[in-house]
Structures are given as C-alpha cells and as structure tokens.
Amino acid sequence: ATPPVALPREAETHCPYCALQCGMVLRAEGDRVEVLPRQFPTNRGGLCQKGWTAAELLDHPERLTTPLLRDASGELRPATWDAALDRVAAGIRAVQSGHGRDAVAVFGGGGLTNEKAYALGKFARVALRTRHIDYNGRWCMSSAAAAGIRAFGVDRGLPFPLADLARADTLLLVGANPAETMPPLLRHLTDQRQRGGRLIVVDPRVTATARQADLHLQPLPGTDLAVANALLHIALTEGLVDKAYVDARTTGFEQVRRTVAGYWPAEVERLSGVPVADLEATARALAGGSAIILTARGAEQHAKGVDTVSAFVNLALALGLPGRPGSGYGCLTGQGNGQGGREHGQKSDQLPGYRKIDDPAARAHVAGVWGVDPDDLPGPGVPAYRLLDSLGTPGGPRAMLVFGSNPVVSAPRAARVTERLRGLDLLVVADFLLSETAALADVVLPVAQWAEEEGTMTNLEGRVLRRQALRRPPPGVRTDLDILAGLAARLDDGEPGTGPAGTPTTTTGTGAAAAQPAGRAARQFPTDPRVVFAELRRASAGGPADYAGITWERIERDEGVFWPCPDPDGPDAPRLFADRFPTPDGRARFHPVTHRPAAEEVCAEYPLHFTTGRVLAQYQSGTQTRRVAALRRAAPGGFVELHPDLADRLGVDEGDELVVTSRRGELRAPARLSPTIRPDTVFAPFHWGGAARANSVTNDATDPVSGMPEFKICAVRVEKA
Ligand code: SF4
C-alpha cells in the first residue's frame, strides 16, 4: 500500500452532484468544512445551492459510520467490518454455488468516480464472474449515448467545451432545463444572448429555462421526434440543407430525406400542438449561422428515446453543424460522473475504454490488462430495468450488490422493483446514508464521501477532472475500493479476514478498520485510486474513450483533460469531428426514424399525460439533498403540478392532497397549480420516496436499443384524496 499522504487545509475539487462538476474549494475551518466556489471553465465561479451546502452531509447525524447486518428478528444492527464482509462473501458463495455465477448481480451508479466505476466492472467480471452488472446511468442518458454512437461512432456528451455555447447564433435546447438542473451553466447562455444569440427551448412545460427563451415550443409529451422531423422537412423544402457538408461528410441522407418528406408541418402541428409558424422560425434560425442543438432527459426518457435523439442528430447533420466552430449537436449529461460512469465497464454491454464486451479484440485487450483468460470474461448482461425486474424470478439473480444507487426511488414502476429487491436471498448496499434501498438490505456498508477520497470524474464535456480529499473518512467508514478489495480477497482465498485489521490501504486513509487484502486479490483490486487510474489508462488504451495519455498531474495543470487522449505528450481533444468522424469511413451516419405513440396512451380511465422531472433544490433520488436543511426548506416535499383549467375541472384547489393513479400504482402529494403546464398533462418531481414517489406511477416500458425507461410519459387519472 502507498503510505497515506498529508492532507491539505484547503483542497481544490469539484461538486459531488451533477455533471457540470462545478469547481469548488473546500477549506477546513476547525471541525467544519467550508465550501467556496472557484473559477473553473464550466461554472466560472458559480455554484447552485446544492453545491454550496454539499459539505453539510460530511458530519450529518444520519451518516452511517458502521456496517449494519440484518439479524434474525429482521432488524439492521451494527456489526464489525469482518462480520459484514464475511456475511457478504458467504452469501455470494452460497448463491453462486447453488444457482451459478450469474445468480449474483451488481448495480452501480453514475456518481461513482472513474476509478470506482472501473473497479466495480472488473469486480463483477473477474471476482464474481457474473454477466449481470448495470447501473443507474441507464436512467440518465443511455438513449443519447446510443444515438451518438450510431451517428458519430462515439458517445461524448458534448463534443466541444461548454464555452462554445456562447459562440452559437442559435441555441436549441430540447427537453433540457439547466436553469433548475445546473444553474451555473446559464452564464454561458447569458454570454450567448449578449452576443445577440437566440435561445429556443422545446419543452412541454414553461420551465425556468423556457421563460428565458426567445421562442418556446411546447409540444405534447412524446412528440419531440415528429417535431424534429418537421424541422428537417422545412429545412429541405426551404433549401436550408447544407448539401456540400451532407455530400462530403455523411452517409444515408437519402433515406432520411424520404422519411421526413411525410412530416408536413401542419400535420405535426395537429399532433404536437406546436404552431407551423414556430416550426418554420426554428428551422430558419438553426440554418441562419452557427447553431448548437442540445438534448437532455426530456427527449431521451421515452421508449423511443434513441430515435428521438437521432431525429435531432439528423437535423444537425443536415444543417452541417457537427464539427463546425460554434456549432454542433450535444447532450447534457445529468449525473456527476454520468459520462465516465459509462466508459469504464459498469454497463452490461461494455468493457473499459468504451469497448464492446462482445468484441473479441476488446475482450483480449482488457483480459490482458486484468491478467485473466479472455474466455473467462462473461458476456453481455441486460440493461438496468430488465436486470432489476428479473431479480428473484426463476433464472434471475438471487443476490445483488448496490453501489451508489437508490433504485427503490429512482427506478420506474418502483413498487415492483421494491418487491423484487425484497425477494432476494442477499441484498448488499454500499452508501453513506440509509437510502430507501439500503433500508431493505441484508448488509449495509458505510462508505466515504467525496471530500474524503481522491479520484477522477469525467464531466458532461468529456473533460476528466481531479477530485481531491480534504479529510479522512470517519472511523468505521471505508472507501468503495477498500470494500471491493476486501470482498475479492475473501472470494479469492475462501478465508475470512485475510489481513491485519487497521492496515491503511489508500493514500487518503480509509478509516481505522480497513483490512489489507491478501495475495492475488490485493494485486487485482488495489485500493489506491492512483494505482487504479494507472490500470484504467492501460485498459482504455486504444478504445474510443482512450485515457492512456491522461495523468493526474496533467489534469491539475490543464484544468482537466478531454478524452480521447492516447499520448501523455500529445494533445487532448476538446473539440471532436472537425475533420472526420470516428467511424470506419470517417463519415457521420444518418438514421431514418419515424414517430410512434408513447408506450401507453391516454384513455377514458386514465385521461391525462403524466411526466416527471427535477426541482432546483433537490438531486436525483434525494437521499442526500433531502437531508440538507436549507434544501429541505426550499423544496420540502413532492407535489403534483397541474394547470388551473384542469384543477377547475377536477374541483381541486392549491394544496389539496391529490392521488395520481396509473396502471402500476399511485402517488399522493399536494396540488400545485401552474399555468405553465399544458392542461392535458400533470407533472411530479421524482426526488421523493414514500407516498409522493413519482416512480410508483411511471411506465417500465423501455427503449429497445438503450434500455432507457419511459419516465417522461404515461397515462394517469387524478383525483382529490
Ligand atoms: Fe453542483 Fe451541479 Fe449545482 Fe454545480 S450545478 S453546484 S455541479 S449541483
């Protein structure tokens, strides 16, 4: 083990929450940790209230500081680390010996550092030898990732730095609400507006971002694809397509041209509610100079999410935007390490470096780095929801290890997922708070927080960043890397307690009780994040997401390093696609797509559309932000937003308790009346569990390509409680 390094009194790091990864300074003030914003290219000195208050959780009274084991009476009780890890290892062995290796599953998270995401993927495939690993990034931007790969040959959320937004004459945001999800990003939008740029927003709700737009298209949920095809139809009929670009840099346009020919604007107006004049104004604005099209969850979280994103990618390609200065297509990733989390092997179909797990060359390369036989690496598993829905069913996994995720709140059709989790022989959750999922676990393992460990994150621009530690984890707490090493040692040697308790194993310290793993497992599962990153660089070398040339020193020196970066002495890649696309022929690929209805349409019994999203003061499943006093005051609980006309029809007043019912379940929350939503649609934020859990209602239909669930539309009825 590398000896622990001295910790600074002040550390330059990044926010633990979203993919903007705002730069911040952590300062030790006595026992307290103070958060200060710092100038960084993404946030330029700004932080939202979530970032400002992030340190409150470090010493939160509800923080877990000892492992918990469920006893015979069904209670979770404090336990030693040896007892907890022994129980997990014994449970894994029992399940695998009775039901095969695939009977154990791993579920990761888009907030884990690159090192943890990499180690988790390796742990599943090498220590457990299960094909069942996936993560909550499937909820985040898997549809844009799939659409990006099929068009451009690579998935990097933004293929240009955020600062380029200010250079666009027109910015089209589709299903994105950065004013609430990542407010410091608005500094770039303000620059763009001050330069005379136009902002056009596509969103069924009049969001805080839509209010700032020059033009707001407010389509019926689930009709974005038709809107995009209509925009391309108009571009074609008005001669706005960049023919030279299409001819020189793309393939497959003819089929797309034939497909969009049928998307007459007047018909799309009838379908989506977006006036023809607004469609025409948007198409002309996008073609009139530099332009950037950005999509986010609103476009993606549909059973046709990949095709919806492809429709906007087709539009961008036809207008000649990708690779041109101040222009392009990009996706706003949500989770803190949503980008890096899907590059290093947490996805069921991927190996590190964004390699495909069924590619023999990729398997041989990664197996060589891992020191295993390629034939011993499992094949592809299944996407997150299919995995969760198969738990405990005949032939499905009977044990699951969850790291950094809370599917009881965040998964669609959450009641069924909860039932599946309850039916497992063994559920293990590593977290630093008792999330709703951890509360169901047989074993809970308390882990370090962001200010207590080193590592790297990859933000929404594909920029790899350093996370720096300011303090050591509290006694009794370990890092995720320590946990994986401890389990691997037990599974490898078949002996519990393979090392002397109290031996520190990472540069940042891991708490007094960390155990030193022995033998082969210690070599295969190092606990020092620097060592893990060095191995990740080798494993990613030559892959689409090539980190081989990225070092921690370079990250610090250069304000982050953009992948691909194959050579430590060569350049990184802030802007992609200037000359060619990383496809076999160097050209981008059009993909014809057609509108189809949502998986569930409104009917007499369920006459309203239901959609979900976020609020400014909360984040994801709320495990963290619901426990921060200032954020709880700002956003104390769930609600159901509905139009006053609809409220009139239902006899509902502001604050009335409502029941929203779908075919899968119900949520109960107070009414919030707002003229900013369509009268045929109701909205609920997804940050809360319990009765207000929005995902009790959502549909578990998934995109056939990406596995992304249809969080953004289903059919409901609304009644007063
Ligand atoms: Fe943190 Fe995102 Fe807020 Fe920035 S915008 S402070 S990264 S939550």
Ligand 1 pocket mutation pick from 18, 140, 186, 461 by most atoms within 8 angstroms of CB: 18
Ligand 1 pocket mutation pick from 13, 22, 465, 631 by most atoms within 8 angstroms of CB: 22
pLDDT per position as a tens digit, 110-156: 999 999 999 999 999 999 999 999 999 898 889 999 999 999 999 99
Closest protein CA for atom 2 of ligand 1: 18
Closest protein CA for atom 5 of ligand 1: 182
pLDDT of residue 288: 83
Q: 226: CA distance to ligand 1 center in Å?
A: 32
- Ligand 1 pocket, 24 CB below 6 A? no
Q: 54: CA distance to ligand 1 center in Å?
A: 10
Q: 295: CA distance to ligand 1 center in Å?
A: 19
Q: So what's the architecture of 608-720 in CATH?
A: Beta Barrel (2.40)
Residue 304 has pLDDT above 60, yes or no: yes
pLDDT of residue 141: 84
- Ligand 1 pocket, 448 CB below 6 A? no
Q: Which atom of ligand 1 is nearest to the CA of 54?
A: 1
- Ligand 1 pocket, 179 CB below 6 A? no
Q: Which atom of ligand 1 is nearest to the CA of 20?
A: 7
Q: 185: CA distance to ligand 1 center in Å?
A: 9
Q: 182: CA distance to ligand 1 center in Å?
A: 6
Q: Strand pairing of 443-446 and 426-431?
A: parallel
- Ligand 1 pocket, 43 CB below 6 A? yes
Q: 20: CA distance to ligand 1 center in Å?
A: 6
Strands (E), 463-523: 463-467
pLDDT of residue 334: 87
Mean pLDDT score, 424-432: 98
Please provide residue 410's backbone torsions phi and psi, each rounded to the nearest 5 degrees: -95, -15
Q: 337: CA distance to ligand 1 center in Å?
A: 12
Closest protein CA for atom 6 of ligand 1: 51
Q: Strand pairing of 657-661 and 714-720?
A: antiparallel
Residue 721 has pLDDT above 70, yes or no: yes
Q: How far from the centroid of its chain's Cα atoms is residue 74's Cα?
A: 33
Give CA–CA dist 379/504, Å, rounded.
35
Give CA–CA dist 560/566, Å, rounded.
15
pLDDT of residue 5: 58
Cα diameter, the chain: 74
Give CA–CA dist 138/116, Å, rounded.
17
Task: List, in sequence order, the alpha helices (H) in 155-239.
Answer: 178-181, 186-194, 224-237
- Ligand 1 pocket, 328 CB below 6 A? no
pLDDT per position as a tens digit, 253-288: 999 999 999 999 999 999 999 999 999 999 999 998
Task: Map out the domains of the chain as residue ranges.
Answer: 68-139+338-523+555-560, 142-332, 608-720
pLDDT per position as a tens digit, 670-716: 999 999 999 999 999 999 999 999 999 999 999 999 999 999 999 99
Q: 49: CA distance to ligand 1 center in Å?
A: 8
pLDDT of residue 625: 94
- Ligand 1 pocket, 17 CB below 6 A? yes
Residues facing 24 on adjacent strands? 13, 37
Q: 16: CA distance to ligand 1 center in Å?
A: 8
Closest protein CA for atom 3 of ligand 1: 48
- Ligand 1 pocket, 184 CB below 6 A? yes
Closest protein CA for atom 4 of ligand 1: 22
Task: List, in sequence order, the alpha helices (H) in 635-673.
Answer: 644-650
Q: 62: CA distance to ligand 1 center in Å?
A: 23
Q: 335: CA distance to ligand 1 center in Å?
A: 10
Q: How far from the centroid of its chain's Cα atoms is residue 157's Cα?
A: 11
Task: List, in sequence order, the alpha helices (H) in 371-449.
Answer: 384-390, 407-410, 414-422
Residue 4 has pLDDT above 60, yes or no: no
Q: 578: CA distance to ligand 1 center in Å?
A: 30
Ligand 1 pocket mutation pick from 24, 47, 56 by most atoms within 8 angstroms of CB: 47
Produce one character per residue of 658-675: b if its CB has 16 or more CB atoms within 10 Å, e if not.
bbbbbebbbbbbbbbbbe
Kindly state the DSSP code that residue 168 receives in the 8-state scheme: -
Residues facing 428 on adjacent strands? 401, 443
Burial class (CB in 10 A: 0-12, 13-18, 19+), 32: exposed
> Quick check: helix, strand or coil at residue 40?
coil
pLDDT per position as a tens digit, 475-520: 999 999 999 999 999 998 543 333 323 333 333 333 333 444 456 7
Domains 142-332 and 608-720 share a fold: no
Please provide residue 554's backbone torsions phi and psi, each rounded to the nearest 5 degrees: -65, -40
pLDDT of residue 497: 34
Mean pLDDT score, 715-721: 97
pLDDT of residue 30: 82
Mean pLDDT score, 579-596: 97
pLDDT per position as a tens digit, 358-395: 999 999 999 999 999 999 999 999 999 999 999 999 99
Nearest CA to 184 out of 21, 47, 29 is that of 47
Omega of the bond prior to 564 within 30 degrees of 0, cis? yes
pLDDT of residue 519: 63
pLDDT per position as a tens digit, 593-642: 999 999 999 999 999 999 999 999 999 999 999 999 999 999 999 999 99
pLDDT of residue 27: 95
Residue 1 has pLDDT above 50, yes or no: no
pLDDT per position as a tens digit, 148-163: 999 999 999 999 999 9
Residue 497 falls in which region: left (phi positive, over 0), alpha (psi -120 to 50) or beta:
left
pLDDT of residue 2: 45
- Ligand 1 pocket, 457 CB below 6 A? no
Ligand 1 pocket mutation pick from 14, 20, 57 by most atoms within 8 angstroms of CB: 20
Q: Which atom of ligand 1 is nearest to the CA of 182?
A: 5
Mean pLDDT score, 13-29: 95
pLDDT of residue 495: 39
- Ligand 1 pocket, 450 CB below 6 A? no
- Ligand 1 pocket, 182 CB below 6 A? yes
Residue 432 has pLDDT above 80, yes or no: yes
The CATH homologous superfamily of the domain defined by 142-332: Dimethylsulfoxide Reductase, domain 2 (3.40.228.10)
Q: What is the pTM of this model?
A: 0.94
68-139+338-523+555-560 belongs to which CATH class?
A: alpha beta
